[in-house]
Amino acid sequence: MISCCILPQAFIDNDAHPSLPNANSSWFWSNYEILSDTSTANAYSPQIAIDSDNNIHVVWYDNTPDLLSSGGDSDIFYISYNSEIETWSPLELVSSESTDTSLHPVIAVDTNDDIHIAWTDWSDYLGADTDRDVFYKKKNAGGSWTITSVISTDSTLTIHEELTIYVDNNDNLYIAWSDPTDILGADGDNDIFLKFYNDTASSWSSTTLISTESSAYAYKPQIVANSLSGDVHFVWYDYTDILGADTDGDIFYRRWNVYTSTLSDLNLLNSFSDLNSYNPKIALDQNDDIHVIWADYADYLDSGINQDLFYKKLYTSSDSWGLTEVVSSESRHSTEHPDIVVDKNGFVFVAWYDATEYSGAGTDFDIFFKFRDPSINQWSITEVVSVESNDLSHQPELEVDSFGFVSCVWIEQEDLDSSGTDPDICYRKFAGTPSIPILSPIIPNPSSIGNVSLEWSEILSAEEYAVYRDTSYIWSISGREPLSITTDVSFTDTLNETGFYYYAILANNEYGTSAISNVEYVEIAEETKTGLFTSLSLSEILIMAGVVLGLQIIVSVITYSLTKGSSSKRKK
């Protein structure tokens, strides 16, 4: 891949960004990379997924004539990044069976690191006819592709071009789309449909109608699924006048339970809006709470009359929605095509494209980014991702890895690295050095000769931890060799000599090392006192022994006197 020679955006100052995902580290945007460097025409609609080894998988459609012998129509292409050897793979053709236009791919990865890709396609393949249908393919972790399957087998009309895909923790696969076919009582307007693949039964379900109350046009479904409850969470935008929504576009939410095949009541998320709302996105966090973002023209919370991004959270434990929040507070232009992801610590990351002249972005469309800190429930200031571009940058998509690093892909029109002025797929990552680990007090202290147990806080962005020990306070680790390197958040040290020992921890990753942790010490004694007299000194023990001995003598004298007196009386 071609990567730019421009240095990364400056390291982010923690004083200016007090709510970084790792509060004591320096985070930055990596150099951009052009992923579609083999493309000579238009590359569109990038989507991204990250597997358990933090390998990155990207898919898009491209109308470069006969790219990889794909023919003259648009086709689906795939590329991956190997995190171990730090290189991108050669480009691969996904829609190899397609003979007509292939558009708008979506991608997901399961627990086995198999890659699932779906897209819309005009090919008359496996009886699909020449209308646009949903096609699907899987790449096994070993590297082989399955043959293409047709998912929308009940559809007889042209499916809306954008669909969605999700894989839950049980490797059940869900695909949803918008379809004007009059099936299951849907009438002739566009409705939201779902199919899911049961991994245990190795079979696809029948088609399910989700937008049962819709009587107008329902578009762009987005889904996440909870494996434990069986709930599949949907958002979409819809022109139906229901729940007081009026006939403008509005954001609706509902759940469908895979075990009971039941639908929850419909929820209107933007009840405050009397203008059009579009393009919702949804994310699931570590507590199974639901995060939703969308674009809305409503002048709500002083957001202005331009289209802004709004955010809402569903607390599943109480089944209640939080307050609506404005995300794009710095924007003075219409915001478009938002995306949202959540990391393991509950940080919410959002990206969109915007023509606001902000932070040197110029008046062209650029990729904007910000995040929400769950500890303070506040949004960071906005960052500009496409800082090198002076042309159209749009359609960002985000994914977050196990370290909490955020990857972003988008469509770039600027002629970066001689990529041409045709649309190309651009990539960069938001990452940084780990924050400071917190070393717990050592227990017991004092301790006896033998094993000493250390524990410290887990740092999401850390690949490993370095343990340091000294017989004096550790002010710096400069010139020191670590006692141990471990990927765990605990370590057991063996000490065979008495004295005082001091410990400190550093967290490491590919971008550098954290600052030194707090220092904790332990006193090692020859023998750890236990039992009743553990906290008493020798002199205190001797005093107590003397008191006890004195009491024994007094008791003996009294007993002797009483016995002698009794004996004398008997003699008389």
What digits encode the pLDDT tens for the residues 307-324?
Answer: 999 999 999 999 999 999
Is residue 221 within 8 Å of 178, Cβ to Cβ? yes
| Distance of alpha carbon 335 from alpha carbon 337, whole angstroms | 7
Residue 571 in this model has a pLDDT that exceeds 60 = no
Q: What is the mean pLDDT of residues 66-79?
A: 96
Provide the pLDDT for residue 142.
81
Residues 232 and 292 in one domain: yes
Of 252-256, 445-449, 555-559, which gets the smallest average pLDDT?
A: 555-559
Residue 4 in this model has a pLDDT that exceeds 80 = no
Provide the pLDDT for residue 419.
92
Mark which of 388, 409, 432 sits at the end of a domain: 432
Adjacent-strand bridge partners of 34: 2, 426
Average pLDDT, the chain: 90
394 vs 543, residue with greater confidence: 394
Amino acid code (one letter) for 118 = A
Check residue 16 and give left, alpha or beta (phi > 0: left; psi -120 to 50: alpha): alpha
pLDDT-derived band at 26, boundaries 50, 70, 90: confident
Q: Residue 407 corresponds to which tokens in the numbers above? A: 């990857």
Range of the domain at 502: 447-525
Residue 565 lies in a domain: no
Residues 314 and 459 in one domain: no
pLDDT-derived band at 10, boundaries 50, 70, 90: very low
Percent of the chain residues topping a pLDDT of 90: 83
Residue 542 lies in a domain: no
**Interior CA angle at 279 toward 275 and 281, to 5°?**
125
| Distance of alpha carbon 97 from alpha carbon 561, whole angstroms | 114
Residues 485 and 336 in one domain: no
Adjacent-strand bridge partners of 429: 407
Provide the pLDDT for residue 3.
40
| Distance of alpha carbon 547 from alpha carbon 541, whole angstroms | 10
Residues 133 and 163 in one domain: yes
Residue 548 lies in a domain: no
| Distance of alpha carbon 224 from alpha carbon 221, whole angstroms | 10
Adjacent-strand bridge partners of 176: 164, 194
Residue 6 in this model has a pLDDT that exceeds 50 = no
Provide the pLDDT for residue 143.
87
Residues 408 and 488 in one domain: no
Nearest to 509 by CA among 539, 480, 540, 485: 485
Provide the pLDDT for residue 546.
64
Q: What is the mean pLDDT of residues 193-214?
A: 96
Residue 4 lies in a domain: no
Residue 544 lies in a domain: no
Residues 144 and 281 in one domain: yes
| Distance of alpha carbon 269 from alpha carbon 566, whole angstroms | 98
Residues 457 and 520 in one domain: yes
Mark which of 432, 462, 479 sits at the end of a domain: 432
Provide the pLDDT for residue 188.
83
Residues 375 and 489 in one domain: no
pLDDT-derived band at 566, boundaries 50, 70, 90: very low
**Interior CA angle at 439 toward 380 and 14, to 5°?**
25
568 vs 390, residue with greater confidence: 390
Provide the pLDDT for residue 359.
86
pLDDT-derived band at 526, boundaries 50, 70, 90: confident
Provide the pLDDT for residue 362.
87
Q: Kindly state the DSSP code that residue 554 receives in the 8-state scheme.
A: H
Provide the pLDDT for residue 45.
97
Give long-range contacts, CB 8 A cutoff, 24+ apart: 300-309.
300/272, 300/273, 300/324, 300/326, 301/325, 301/326, 302/326, 303/328, 303/329, 304/332, 306/331, 306/332, 306/333, 306/334, 306/335, 307/278, 307/334, 307/335, 307/336, 308/335, 309/335, 309/338, 309/350, 309/352
Q: What is the mean pLDDT of residues 443-460?
A: 95
Q: What share of the chain is helix, strand, coil (3-state, %, to 5)?
A: 5, 40, 50
Q: What is the mean pLDDT of residues 416-424?
A: 93
Residue 384 in this model has a pLDDT that exceeds 70 = yes
pLDDT-derived band at 299, boundaries 50, 70, 90: very high
Q: What is the mean pLDDT of residues 99-109?
A: 97
Provide the pLDDT for residue 498.
95
Residues 396 and 496 in one domain: no
H helices of 403-536, in order, are none
Residue 568 in this model has a pLDDT that exceeds 60 = no
- pLDDT tens string 492-519: 999 999 999 999 999 999 999 999 999 9
Burial class (CB in 10 A: 0-12, 13-18, 19+), 71: middle
**CATH number, position 357:** 2.120.10.80
Residue 246 lies in a domain: yes
10 vs 241, residue with greater confidence: 241
Provide the pLDDT for residue 305.
84
**CATH number, position 511:** 2.60.40.10
Residue 256 lies in a domain: yes
| Distance of alpha carbon 436 from alpha carbon 430, whole angstroms | 19
Mark which of 525, 540, 561 sits at the end of a domain: 525
pLDDT-derived band at 34, boundaries 50, 70, 90: very high
**What is the count of structural domains for the chain?**
2
Nearest to 487 by CA among 456, 517, 442: 456
Provide the pLDDT for residue 173.
97
Cis status of the peptide bond prior to 21, with omega within 30 of 0: no
Residues 203 and 320 in one domain: yes
Provide the pLDDT for residue 5.
33
Is residue 131 within 8 Å of 181, Cβ to Cβ? no
Q: Residue 294 corresponds to which tokens in the numbers above? A: 């969308």
Residues 397 and 452 in one domain: no
User: Would you call 118 helix, strand, or coil by DSSP?
Assistant: strand
- pLDDT tens string 260-296: 999 999 999 999 999 999 999 999 999 999 999 999 9
Check residue 190 and give left, alpha or beta (phi > 0: left; psi -120 to 50: alpha): beta
Provide the pLDDT for residue 561.
55
Q: Is the pTM of this model over 0.85?
A: yes
pLDDT-derived band at 527, boundaries 50, 70, 90: low
Q: Which helix (H) or strand (E) holds 79?
A: strand 75-82
Residue 11 lies in a domain: no
Q: Residue 564 corresponds to which tokens in the numbers above? A: 């002698």
Residues 293 and 224 in one domain: yes
